[in-house]
Structure 1
Amino acid sequence: MTETPVPASAPGPRLRVLAAMSGGVDSAVAAARAAEAGHEVTGVHLALSANPQSFRTGARGCCTVEDARDARRAADIIGIPFYVWDLAERFRRDVVEDFLAEYRAGRTPNPCLRCNEKIKFAALLDKALALGFDAVCTGHYASVVTGPGGRRELHRSADAAKDQSYVLGVLDDRQLAHALFPLGETRATKEEIRAEAERRGLAVARKPDSHDICFIADGDTQGFLARHLGASEGDIVDEDGRKVGSHQGAHGFTIGQRRGLRIGHPAPDGKPRYVLDISPVTNTVTVGPAEALGVTALTGTAPRWCGPAPAGPGRYTAQLRAHGGETPVTAELADDTLHVRFDAPVRGVAPGQAVVLYDGTRVVGSATIATTERAGAGVG
């Protein structure tokens, strides 16, 4: 008889839970739900900037003094202890500097995955366990369920529209064993979560969501990269190597980009051109037609598994962006490299991004895209 997975937060032992509270509505409601479930909850706000005044512009960014105060007020209403932990140096080293290094190398990173891997479920979790806590709770929309044999599994949120399991695909067995996601097991809309916050008396109920990259408060990623990596003039070339324009730094481009190319003259067929390749060694950006973007296969390095590593080739679905859809693939792990082949070509795939594999709603694991193979072309 097959065992049916059940939510890991189903009634069970009372846990000592450290709730990561960003100062937003999701993490506040998650902490309140954990406390309401009978757990012994302590709230903590992570100070991730040495100058926290600068990390928010309107609804962008996070980690300001205002956010810390909002988190403290929410903890007071919930009735739980609250602390602020300074992880700014760790965040700068593991997330911000990694982000810059990846762009410098011509890759397109996802800093939210790196933050989950290195900060929330490494630095924070390690400190929590050392202090005697059993689990870390966050406001992510994903589900941890107990599967056959008692193994904890990461699944998509019950509400697929808000699912954030992609950015959690870097969590391993040990981290999942100490993770709670109280929002992921219900189909509540964001408005219903806000209404719940209002019923609980939480002042953050109508606070705007933060978005984009938290440490780029104005949302100008290219400007941020230019300030930190500097300008370096290079060529924009077509697929035949002919120069069609120039740029001030290859780090300002991503694979699949169409806008902002500033190409001096149109393509012979008059159709738009897209970024096909970025070479940091020669500081060259290659552009071409949309049909040249179709990727048929990729390799991924530094794989991380939310359970046992897959044995032999298998059929899965893959997600390539935080807000992207799924696509059917065949994947196989060989010599610690993940080989993925798509049933049909997909666009917008860039080295540095994460590929996350799913078996139904279960997250199998993830890897960092190292190379891609295009239809009718070689590996890039």
Structure 2
Amino acid sequence: MTTLVTGAAGFIGMATADALLARGDAVIGIDNLNSYYDPALKHARVAQLSERHGDRFRFVELDFADRAALEAELGGAEFDRIVHLGAQAGVRYSIENPHAYVQSNLVGHVNMLELARSRSTSHFVYASSSSVYGGNTSLPFRVEDRTDRPVSLYAATKRCDELLSESYAHLYRFPQSGLRFFTVYGPWGRPDMALWIFTRAILAGQPIPVFNNGEMERDFTYIDDIVAGVVAAHDTPPADDGAEKAGGSTGPHALYNIGNNRSEPLGRVIELLEQAIGKPAIRDYQPMQPGDVPRTFADIDAIQRDLGYAPTTGIDVGIPRFVDWYRRYHGV
């Protein structure tokens, strides 16, 4: 099997491609290697994939929001399924640069749907986000919960992606699975995420920003557990049988939460970082940031039932693993 993976130089994209390749599949990876964060990290991820898997991994530097380039570069490529993980990420940056999100997350998503439709792709798996739940106070978040009150532009674009996919599934009947990721962390993570920011600051003896005065909880999900869910979805297209799928669709379109099924206090996460690093954190307490929410918590009943998903890595194990990788990567 050959799978097209978008965002292959990204955090989850690299890990997903690696898992598919490790079991013997072939992967075509695309990424535009933009400068939202240091492209050197993206190049290093691609290099890892190439070194580990050789010719079964083909990388193409490509912006999937550029329709003409997408068609030109992939016109002769053969692939069975698409895992669309590329996107403009980041809740706070969406307030500063909304156009980047419209271009990548909306125009780009439609381009990928059109590619899947024109190729009669057997399954289109795509990344959504727990941010679609907005300021929902009913916990844990269930795929059936209301998602029409986003509190950030990033969240709004991800919910729009789900609606676009529902429309395409209804019109063209090709299978799709949307995956609502909760806070993902682990080796090869993103520099704009809390664990990376905190680790860098603690090692340097600098203050860490602790928003909402520390009254924050997140469903922290280790990268290996996330990838297990992505691969399980990849292997199990929803049937076009008229039965209601996770998320409410009666077409071949399912929505799943992928989380750890636990909401961890931010203070506990900082304590584990302090233990792993061997230095105390200097906490700089700040108010809630625009577009942020105080708590996330994934109900994973649907993905457990349909795909057998079962996360295994708690933060007590995952956070020290991330710190060990961070030290190796940076030579500290």
TM-score tier after normalising by the smaller chain length: 0.3 to 0.5
Normalised by the length of structure 1, the TM-score is 0.30
User: Which has the larger strand fraction?
Assistant: 1
Q: Which has the higher helix share?
A: 2
- Return the TM-score normalized by structure 2: 0.33
